[in-house]
Structure 1
Amino acid sequence: MLKKIVLGLTLLSSLTFGIDLQTEDKIKGVYKELGIENKLNYSTFFKAIQGYNKIDGKKEGYITIIDFSKPSNEERFFVIDLENKKVNYSTYVSHGKNTGLDTAVKFSNKMNSYQSSLGFYLTINTYEGSNGYSLRLKGLEPGINSNAMDRHIVVHGADYATKEFMEKYGFLGRSLGCPAIPEDISKEVIDYIKGGTVLYINGNDESYFEKSQYISLKI
């Protein structure tokens, strides 16, 4: 009987927690299987998983990584199925208009800054707003992105976040701080990541890494 109980708990644990991402070897293994070395640096992926592992109450097995260390004329929005080691979406994403032109250089948590905010979020619910079908984000880091709900920082579709716009102007248009993605896939992506999945926004800002409770720069 005891053996059956232990076996049952072991199976429940594997079903609940899914893939093991608790060691660097495991993280490296998943990164390699994803086959995204030419799109997303390992250091960015590692930092994202560091935070993912520390977040309670998340929907397990999925993470969205936005890499604002890359210019806007490159794909830098990645939706990853960690369980099946698969990149489900890889696309363009806009940053805030006061964050930079083609490259994101300034970040803020302040109201009306029209800048992007770095760090870890949980996706919440969807709604129809001025930007169409949108996904609310809950910022998890005080002083860094904790005003996301009040600032109405959401994932939404935009005609200025497309490959066509980028090819015409050389870089994407910019939002008021929201991560805006191409309209033709925005609803599909939003429905896939809604409901408590982790979203991480990376950028070239050393002050963020010094403040964040989710990331240790020691690899």
Structure 2
Amino acid sequence: MRTEPGFWGKKWRQLAVAAVGLGLAGCNVSASENNAAAPNSSQLGPAPTDTAVPTATPLPDSLALTPVAPLPALPDSVRQAVQLLHKQLGPEAAALRPEVLERACVGYLALRQEGRIQQGGVLAVADMDLPSSEKRLWVLDLRQGRVLHRSHVAHGRGSGKLRARRFSNTIKSACTALGFYRTQDTYGGKHGLSRRLRGLDAGQNDNALRRYVVLHAADYVSRQHLQRHGQAGYSRGCPALPPDQYRAIINSLPEGACLLLAGPGLESKWLDGAAAARQLAARGWR
């Protein structure tokens, strides 16, 4: 079969454009990594194909969420306060699973009890078990019981495709790391206004500062990218934000605020129901 001249050249150009569109540009990197060679095709893995998957074969990116069990031995005072909060948050928090919110609130209260979080009344939680096609980040005003912001957020390219399945604290893993974070200072980086994050779970996300895991804007979380590809692109481990929302989100989480990146396998010493109950009794959500 004959093909028109330049057919394959056009085809490869189309594939190259698609690869750029998938958001392979990543998060802020250290000076030593700025001069690193671009990843080759073997590092990026095989290119996607249009081959149909038989209906009897489970898709690798299932949309079935990983079940989250309620926290054991959680004092009723905390559980009831979280249930009331979820109700107050209204429709904007309907997709925020109660069990994920429960973990976020318990960790926030325990961290406030220990003085590890200085900004009271605000909490950000991202359910990274949800697909990146969905708005899975919420910034909450705990005192007023309202959603300040809801947005898409990217996961690391090492963590998966539509769904994040692998999580790592390892430097250069390009994975999202689960756990509680304390927001740090802001700076002007290559992505504009960015906010540093300090991981508060030893062995799970405490390399965040060394990995340059920050809140920043990314074109691969833009409306245009989502409309074109049906999902967000990938970071190098940062919870990257939409360009039209990142500044407001970053400013709503001042230094000393709490962020939880939740997902399958989350473990944290801050999921301490007794400490959360003491803080709630003493100061409420403040």
Instruction: Give the structure-2-normalised TM-score.
Output: 0.65
For residues 159 and 37 of structure 1, the distance between their equivalents in structure 2, rounded to whole angstroms, comes to 25
Deviations along 1:54-93, one digit per CA (max 9) or x if unpaired, are 1024210000001101000000010000001010100100
Other-structure match for 1:23 = 78
Q: Which deviates more from structure 2 when the two are superposed, residues 35-44 or residues 130-139? A: 35-44
For residues 227 and 83 of structure 2, the distance between their equivalents in structure 1, rounded to whole angstroms, comes to 34
Q: What is the SS of the residue equivalent to 2:238?
A: coil
Q: Give the C-alpha shift of residue 215 in structure 1.
A: 2.1
Q: Give the C-alpha shift of residue 37 in structure 1.
A: 5.0
Contact residue 72 and residue 102 of structure 1 kept, 8 A: yes
Other-structure match for 1:128 = 188
Aligned pairs for 1:7-156 (under 5 A) are: 23-35=78-90, 36=92, 38-55=94-111, 56-58=115-117, 59-156=119-216
Q: Give the C-alpha shift of residue 194 in structure 1.
A: 2.0
Which residue identity is paired with 1:52?
A: Y
Gaps of 5+ in 1: 1-20
Deviations along 1:117-144, one digit per CA (max 9) or x if unpaired, are 0000010100011222100001001100
Alignment counterpart, residue 217 of structure 2, candidates 157, 160, 184:
157
Other-structure match for 2:65 = none
Deviations along 1:18-65, one digit per CA (max 9) or x if unpaired, are xxx952111110111101453100000001011011102421000000
Q: What is the SS of the residue equivalent to 1:30?
A: helix
Other-structure match for 2:259 = 199
Evaluate the alpha carbon distance shift between residue 22 and residue 149 of structure 1 in structure 2; reply closer, same or farther with a 3 A threshold. farther
For residues 190 and 171 of structure 2, the distance between their equivalents in structure 1, rounded to whole angstroms, comes to 18
Count of matched residue pairs:
193
Q: What is the SS of the residue equivalent to 1:149?
A: coil
Contact residue 50 and residue 214 of structure 1 kept, 8 A: yes
**Sequence identity of aligned pairs in percent?**
33
For residues 151 and 134 of structure 1, the distance between their equivalents in structure 2, rounded to whole angstroms, comes to 14
For residues 168 and 86 of structure 1, the distance between their equivalents in structure 2, rounded to whole angstroms, comes to 31
Which residue identity is paired with 2:86?
A: Y
Which residue identity is paired with 1:203?
A: G
For residues 107 and 116 of structure 2, the distance between their equivalents in structure 1, rounded to whole angstroms, comes to 13
Q: Which deviates more from structure 2 when the two are superposed, residues 127-136 or residues 32-41? A: 32-41
Gaps of 5+ in 2: 1-75, 274-286
Q: What do you get for the CA RMSD once the two structures are aligned?
A: 1.6
For residues 204 and 224 of structure 2, the distance between their equivalents in structure 1, rounded to whole angstroms, comes to 32
Q: Give the C-alpha shift of residue 189 in structure 1.
A: 1.2
For residues 95 and 121 of structure 1, the distance between their equivalents in structure 2, rounded to whole angstroms, comes to 15
Q: Whose radius of gyration is greater, 1 or 2? A: 2
Choose between structure 1 and 2: higher strand proportion. Answer: 1
Evaluate the alpha carbon distance shift between residue 216 and residue 54 of structure 1 in structure 2; reply closer, same or farther with a 3 A threshold. closer
| Structure with higher RCO (Cα < 8 A, 6+ apart) | 2
Q: What is the SS of the residue equivalent to 1:39?
A: coil
